[in-house]
Amino acid sequence: MFFHEFKYTIKNILRTKEEIFWVLLFPLLLSIMFHVAFGNINNTTENFHTIPVAVCLEEGAHSESFQKVLDTLSDESVEDTPFLAITYTNLENALTLLETNSVRGIFQVDDEISLTCTPSTASSSNATLAIEQSILESFLREYRTNAKTITEIAMTNPQKLPEVLSLMEADDFYGQKLSLTDGNMDTMVQYFYNLLAMACLYTSFAGADISINNHANLSTLAARKCVSPRGKLLSVIAHFSASLLIQFICIALNILFMVYVLKVNFAAPIPLLMLTAFISCILGISFGFFVGSLGRMEQGIKIGIMVAFTMVSSFLSGLMVGNMRSIVENICPLINDINPAVLISDSFLTLNIYGVTNRYTHNLFMLLLFSAAFLCIGCIKIRRKTYASL
Amino acid sequence: MSTPVIKIENLVKRYSDLVAIDHFNLEIKDGEIFGLLGPNGSGKTTTINCILSLLSFDKGTIEVFGKKMHPDSYDLKRQIGIVMQNVAVFDTLTVYENIDYFCGLYIKDKNLRKQYVEEAIAFVELDQFRKFYPKKLSGGLLRRLNIACGIAHKPKLIILDEPTVAVDPQSRNKILEGIVELNRQGATIIYTSHYMEEVEQICTRIAIMDSGKNIACGTADELKQMIKKSEKITIEISSISDEHMKNLLSLPHVYDVDYSNGQLNVSCSGGRHNLIHVLEYLQQQDLSFGRVYSELPTLNDVFLEVTGKELRD
């Protein structure tokens, strides 16, 4: 029964031109457009270099500790190419430096630490800006997490503090960044990550079909299936597996096309790129399954919801405006934490810049967590067997 | 006495304030072609969906093959074939693939399934269209595909919900012949329609539904005998006085006379020579007339008399 359903779902998807277009051809065409518009991105590939930042220190809880961290990371005696080049100044001067592009960001430090970055453009002269801003954001986020962890342990379990500190040193986030000079620092590659994220989210169309074809009150086809003696769960699993296989192949073809035809340097092993794409497809299909199971609204409305969600989350991740992610990070970081397009594109970015790190595994974990949530809700809604109306 | 294939007792189904099925009772025996006749909105499809456990209901019991029907009654579902009112096939699969897909939901054995699919294709005469996609089929052929998908697994009970809607007369006849053939092969058929001619043509027993109620049940003859009218005589006549109409009404077995649009309508109950009596009277009175028709009562007359409205309302 499983293979019967699996086989016909594959046939169905392969013959549904719209689904193949949005997941395979549309990203493919966009990637060609990006390639043409941005030129040969390999020519602009740069190695990592020191990031100039301005720091405005005020009296506060974080001032001293953060300054020590900054000093360490900008110490030329420790590394030939230090992570940061710091200019301590007041806010007014810092803003002037930012406007003249002399620094990439401003850290304002008092009781809280904030990061201000200049809006970047997609021009090749600002090629590394978005990546550098992303690195500064990651650095700040990591610092905040570690500071919070240390504070909590110091308050609740002080005897464990030395052990935790040595563990943190072993997993030296900042050290890793400095050593990762093989990554592609070209900001244009970020557009391809966002494009892949969007394509992965478009797999939601296939996910919606799973719900619509198994809910008797959503389609006559589903009603006909529901009166047959086959278990609904088995059908859903078969449908999901077949959808995942086809959608993943489409995304994989996109990646291979970008890598081997457009010569985009993702600076990461292909298997890891594929793993990221695979998990992202799981998220996309699960999301579609969830939306498809949302009540009896028309199919067009559900498709509208999925398109809107994909476009908004892709926009916020920087598909249309390069530094949108930085803007969101400054206004409401939580959005970046839960935006699937950001999680997907950031996974690719992390692979590029840092390799497999905690941040990468955390992103994948979040994607799987969201997938599980969408699947659970969808399954709860779809398990119903009799309906009040059809 | 053998177990009824379907037994419905006191079924009530409400949609908010609307009572769609109102204390409905029904018993269908093995080997019948049972017709559910009623106008649109009378509750035929709702009843079918309740039988199939697709719809929840408020009250009553439904038994299929002597067992209570539940959504998980897979052993019962295996014996049921459904042909939905709306065509339910995949646009992306060919005729053969569609039938194979739906047959595969019931039949696991590949070889047996292949044989059944071939038989279904031959049965609905779609052999030359087996590689066609549904979009390339005409309305009639599409309906035949819809039927093939529902019957390919050789079910004991076949439910056909208005299978001839929007079908040309030729395809309609083929479908009706096919249904009779399926019954001859041993399947019990439930056939819902609002076309009384079809129901009368193929059904061995009929239940007439209106507003969710079973208002009459029996064979076509039994239903017709339930009503007063046994013959309706229509005569084309240019004019007729009230006095003549009164005299016609006094003839034996005549219970209603009316004149409209140049037609004299005489309704009779019982009697075997009503037409002769009426024509004799008209000749005696030197009343010239044109064409004359004599009709036996139809199911529409039954419906009209029981509910006070036309079946096609």
For the segment A45-88, what is each residue's pLDDT rounded down to a tens digit?
455 678 888 888 877 666 777 888 888 888 777 666 778 888 88
Residue A62's pLDDT is what? 67
Beta strands, E only, A110-191 = 113-117
Our CA-based measurement puts residue B272 at a distance from the nearest CA of chain A, in whole angstroms, of 50
Separation CA A103–CA A148 (nearest Å): 27
- Regarding whether A103 and A209 lie in a shared domain, the answer is no
Is the domain of A299 the same as that of A215? yes
Is A167's pLDDT higher than 90?
no
Mean pLDDT of A25-54: 75
CA–CA distance, A353 with A45 (Å, rounded to integer): 13
* Main-chain dihedrals φ then ψ at residue B143, nearest 5 degrees: -65, -35
How many residues can be counted in chain A? 390
Q: How confident is the model at residue B270 (pLDDT cuts 50, 70, 90)?
A: confident
Q: What is the pLDDT of residue A362?
A: 92
Chain B neighbors of A224, CB-CB under 8 A: 82, 84, 88, 102, 149-150
Is A164 found in the same domain as A195? no
Contact A230 B105 (CB under 8 A): yes
What's the rounded mean pLDDT across residues A280-301?
Answer: 90
Nearest-angstrom CA–CA distance, B308 and B304: 5
- A315 and A296 within one domain: yes
Whether residues A369 and A238 fall in one domain: yes
DSSP letter string, A62-100: THHHHHHHHHHHT-TTT-SS-SEEEEE--HHHHHHHHHT
A219, A228, A388 ranked by CB distance to B106: nearest:
A228
CA-CA distance, A334 to A337, in Å (whole number)?
5
Section B224-230 average pLDDT: 80
CATH of the domain at A100: 3.40.190
What is the residue-wise DSSP string for A120-132?
A: P-SSGGGTTHHHH
- Strands (DSSP E) along B219-275, which ranges? 231-236, 254-260, 263-268
Which of A140, A157, A179 terminates a domain? The answer is A179
- Least reliable range by pLDDT among A230-234, A365-369, B60-64, B129-133: A230-234
Categorize the per-residue pLDDT at B75 as very low, low, confident or very high, splitting at 50, 70 and 90: very high
| Cα A214 to the center of its chain, rounded Å | 31
Residue A114 CA to residue A111 CA, distance in Å, equals: 10
pLDDT at A177: 43
Specify if A81 maps to a domain: yes
Mean pLDDT of A145-163: 76
Shared-domain flag, residues A15 and A80: no
Q: Which pLDDT score, from 0 to 100, does residue B313 have?
A: 43
CA distances from A360 to A48, A100, A270, B159 (A): 19, 33, 15, 55
Q: Given the DSSP bridges, would you call strands B67-68 and B59-64 parallel, antiparallel or unpaired?
A: antiparallel
* Segment of A324-333, A344-353, B139-148 carrying the highest mean pLDDT: B139-148
Say if the Cβ atoms of A390 and B104 lie within 8 Å. Answer: no
Whether the per-residue pLDDT at A186 is higher than 70: the answer is no
Q: Indicate the residue among A144, A179, A214 that finishes a domain.
A: A179
Q: Tokens 């009250």 map to which residue?
A: B59
In a 10 Å sphere around its CB, with 0-12 CB exposed, 13-18 middle and 19+ buried, how is residue A281 labelled?
Answer: buried
Task: Return the percentage of chain A with pLDDT > 70, whole number.
Answer: 86
**Mean pLDDT computed over A211-227:** 88
Going by the DSSP 8-state scheme, the letter that residue A119 receives in this structure is P
With contacts defined as CB-CB under 8 Å, which chain B residues touch A18? Answer: none
Contact B53 A1 (CB under 8 A): no
- Residue ranges of the domains in chain B? 6-225, 231-296
Instruction: Answer yes or no: do A97 and A243 share one domain.
Output: no
- B274 touches B266 (CB < 8 A): yes
Interface test with A, best of B101, B117, B147 (most A CBs within 10 A): B101
Tokens representing B21 are: 């099925």
Judged against a pLDDT cut of 70, whether residue B225 lies above it is answered with yes
Query: In B107-219, where do the E strands start and end?
Result: 157-161, 188-193, 205-210, 213-218
Please identify which residue in the block is written with the tokens 């309609």: B172
> Are A31 and A74 part of one and the same domain?
no
Higher pLDDT, B236 or A124: B236
Q: Is residue A388 part of a domain?
A: no
- Report how far residue B64's alpha carbon sits from residue B158's, in angstroms, rounded to the nearest whole number: 12
What kind and span of H or E run contains B50?
helix B44-51
pLDDT (tens digit, 9 = 90+) per residue, B274-310? 899 999 999 999 999 999 998 888 888 888 888 877 7
Report if residue A80 sits inside a domain: yes
pLDDT in tens, A110-153: 778 888 876 654 443 454 676 777 788 878 887 887 777 777 77
Give B-chain residues touching A388 at CB under 8 angstroms: 15, 55-56
- Of the two residues A183 and B144, the one the predictor is more confident about is B144
Q: Which backbone phi and psi does A33 adopt, to 5 degrees?
A: -60, -45
Chain A residues with CB under 8 Å of B80 CB are: 227
Residue A387 lies in a domain: no
- Beta carbons of B15 and A216 less than 8 Å apart: no
Whether residue A322 is predicted with pLDDT greater than 70 in this model: the reply is no
Q: At what angle do helices A299-317 and A340-353 cross, to 10 degrees?
A: 40
Same-domain pairing of A171 and A232: no
Contact B55, A388 (CB under 8 A): yes
Q: Which pLDDT does position A47 carry in this prediction?
A: 56
Locus of tokens 């002037």: A96
| The predicted structure's pLDDT at residue A86 | 86
Query: So what's the pLDDT on residue A110?
Result: 79
Query: Are residues A197 and A275 both part of a single domain?
Result: yes
B276-292: b (≥16 Cβ within 10 Å) or e: ebbeebbeeeebeeeee
Query: Across all residues in chain A, what is the average pLDDT?
Result: 82
Residues facing A57 on adjacent strands:
A109
**Which residues in chain A have their CB less than 8 angstroms from residue B88's CB?**
219-221, 223-224
Q: How confident is the model at residue B146 (pLDDT cuts 50, 70, 90)?
A: very high
CATH class of B231-296: alpha beta
Q: Which of B208, B73, B203 is nearest to A226 (CA)?
A: B73
Q: Which residues of B touch A228 (CB under 8 A)?
A: 77, 102, 105-106
What are the tokens at B8?
Answer: 């419905």
> What rounded mean pLDDT belongs to chain B?
91
**What pLDDT sits at residue A181?**
45
Last residue of a domain, one of A179, A199, A222: A179
Residue ranges in B226-273 assigned as alpha helix (H)? 242-249
Residues A38 and A164 in one domain: no
The beta strands (E) that lie in A299-378 are given as: none
Strand order of the β-sheet with B213-218 is: B80-83, B157-161, B188-193, B33-37, B205-210, B213-218
ipTM: 0.82
Neighbour count for residue B34 (Cβ, 10 Å) = 23
pLDDT top residue among B206 and B1: B206
Residues 6 or more apart whose Cβ sits within 8 Å of residue A207: A240, A243, A284, A285, A286, A287, A288, A289, A290, A291, A292
Contact A220 B88 (CB under 8 A): yes
Residue A390 lies in a domain: no
Cross-strand partners of A106 = A54, A116
Within a domain: residue A144?
yes
Can you give the pLDDT at residue A176? 46
**CB within 8 A of B271, min separation 6: which ones?**
B230, B231, B252, B253, B277
Report the percent of chain A where pLDDT is more than 90: 29
Number of domains in chain A: 2
Structural domain including A167 reads: 49-179
Same domain, A293 and A162: no
Best mutation site among A1, A4, A11, A390 for testing chain B: the one with the most B CBs within 10 Å?
A4
Q: Which residue has the higher pLDDT, A149 or A210?
A: A210
The angle, 0 to 180 degrees and rounded to 10, between the axes of the packed helices B139-151 and B95-104 is 30
Q: Indicate the residue type of A254.
A: N
Check residues A232 and B191 and name the one with the higher pLDDT: B191
The Cα–Cα gap between A41 and A37 comes to: 10
| pLDDT score for A178 | 43
Architecture of domain B6-225: 3-Layer(aba) Sandwich (3.40)
Quick check: B101 and A216 CB within 8 A? Answer: no
pLDDT tops 70 at residue A43 = no
Q: Residue written as tokens 């006094």? A: B250
Q: Note the pLDDT tens digit of each residue in B26-56.
A: 999 999 999 999 888 899 999 999 999 999 9
Q: In one letter, which amino acid is B102?
A: F
Measured CA to CA, the distance from residue A345 to residue A276 in angstroms comes to 9
Question: What pLDDT score was predicted for residue A215?
Answer: 86
